[in-house]
Amino acid sequence: MEKSKVLTGEFFMNGDEALAEGAISAGCRFFAGYPITPATEIAERMAERMPEVGGTYIQMEDELGSMNAVLGASWGGVKAMTATSGPGFSLMMENLGLGIMLETPCVLANIQRAGPSTGLPTAVGQGDMMQARYGSHGCYSIIAISPNSPQEMYDLAIKTFNLSEKYRTPVLIMADAVVGHMSEKVVIPSPHKIVLFPRRKPTVPKDKYLPYQPDADLVPPMANAGEGYRFHVTGLTHDERGYPQDSAEAQDRLVRRLVAKIEQNKDDIVMLEEDGLDNAAVVVCAYGISARVSRYAIEKARAEGIKVGMLRLVTVWPFPDKRIGEIAPNIKAFIVPELNAGQIVLEVERCAHGKAETVLLPHMGGGVHRPEVILNAIRRAAK
């Protein structure tokens, strides 16, 4: 990378641009995508920046091809990503599942807009959160992170690439149109201050390498195509060699590991922001732009003497079951504002086990909650 092209310092940029710069700082050198509002600024930034840092930008014919190209680039040894919104996210689901089955490290950013279908292309939504978890067919686990500022778009882009390499899996950035399009100060550190997780390479002789033979943490080392290792890659149920295995036993062994390598490492993966939980009677549980909107309501409620805390889901998937379960017996209610008809609230309710009321504040998107709506919900729950 040319030194003159390395960005460091303080910048005023929108969240989409910050996400692109975070990916570049993480070592991303391949981007394949298709323009779609409100994620197009990511592609535009990558189209400009990839040639400057020795990377490759490809505008594909559609979102199906974009996700497939990213998988191929990753197997070639390049950190790769794509970005999209609503309808494009739906089109990427099949190849997302392929990436999970092939255990391919890469990043997919979804800048959510109001749906379903074409919906409101230029307006915000948070309606893809359950699709992020269950959108592709079959059984699997997924990592999905929800930034709430341009600075976090930068910082968490690096985090997602590290997680994708560490757990050899696609990782999702589930942002939203407001965070993607808001402009704020973004601090980009010097490259030597950024910690990157390197791809785990095989340590056995090339003729002994098995591409799906896991280490103790259930993650297999990964050789790149063209390095002289012999392996087979297929979306079919396969054994440690990568060869298809048409049996229930092979399916059980493989899928259990794909799920367990994420679920058994929750303590390493899950990130939460907690504020004022120690003596709270009510806890607002939110993510993305909804968490930022909730801040004003929380401050007003505290000024009225209400004991209210915030639990911000930075990592949405895997879901923080344990932490929700710990909080629930000590409070009256969770307030869950979402720009949808109710998605993550169902997970909060499940994990609370009936020990605290769970209150949904739905908003169908197109705009954000008015803070007084959240404030009134806090007041009612605290009585």
Total domains in the chain come to: 2
- For residues 142 and 128, give the distance between their C-alpha atoms in angstroms, rounded to a whole number: 14
Q: Would residue 242 count as lying in a domain?
A: no
Longest dimension (CA), the chain: 69
Domain finish residue from 147, 171, 193: 193
Domain for residue 161, yes or no? yes
Task: Give a yes or no: residue 218 inside a domain.
Answer: no
Domain range spanning residue 177? 3-193
Domain finish residue from 193, 218, 241? 193
Residue 17 lies in a domain: yes
Query: What is the C-alpha separation between 300 and 306, in angstroms, rounded?
Result: 9
Give the domain CATH number at 309: 3.40.50.920
Residue by residue, pLDDT tens for the chain (383 residues) are: 444 587 999 999 999 999 999 999 999 999 999 999 999 999 999 999 999 999 999 999 999 999 999 999 999 999 999 999 999 999 999 999 999 999 999 999 999 999 999 999 999 999 999 999 999 999 999 999 999 999 999 999 999 999 999 999 999 999 999 999 999 999 999 999 999 999 999 999 999 999 999 999 999 999 999 999 988 999 999 999 999 999 999 999 999 999 999 999 999 999 999 999 999 999 999 999 999 999 999 999 999 999 999 999 999 999 999 999 999 999 999 999 999 999 999 999 999 999 999 999 999 999 999 999 999 999 999 99
Dist CA 18 CA 337 (whole Å): 26
286-304: buried (b, 16+ CB within 10 Å) or exposed (e) per residue? Answer: bbbbbbbbbbebbebbeee
In a domain, 263, yes or no: no
Q: Are strands 170-176 and 106-114 parallel, antiparallel or unpaired?
A: parallel
Tokens of 354: 């009936």
Q: Of 50, 59, 63, which Cα lies nearest the Cα of 32? A: 59
Rounded Cα–Cα distance for residues 367 and 381 (Å) = 24
CB 85 within 8 A of CB 119: no
The CA-CA-CA angle for residues 145, 151, 156, to 5°, reads 30
Whether 59 maps to a domain, the answer reads yes
Domain end position, chosen among 146, 162, 193: 193
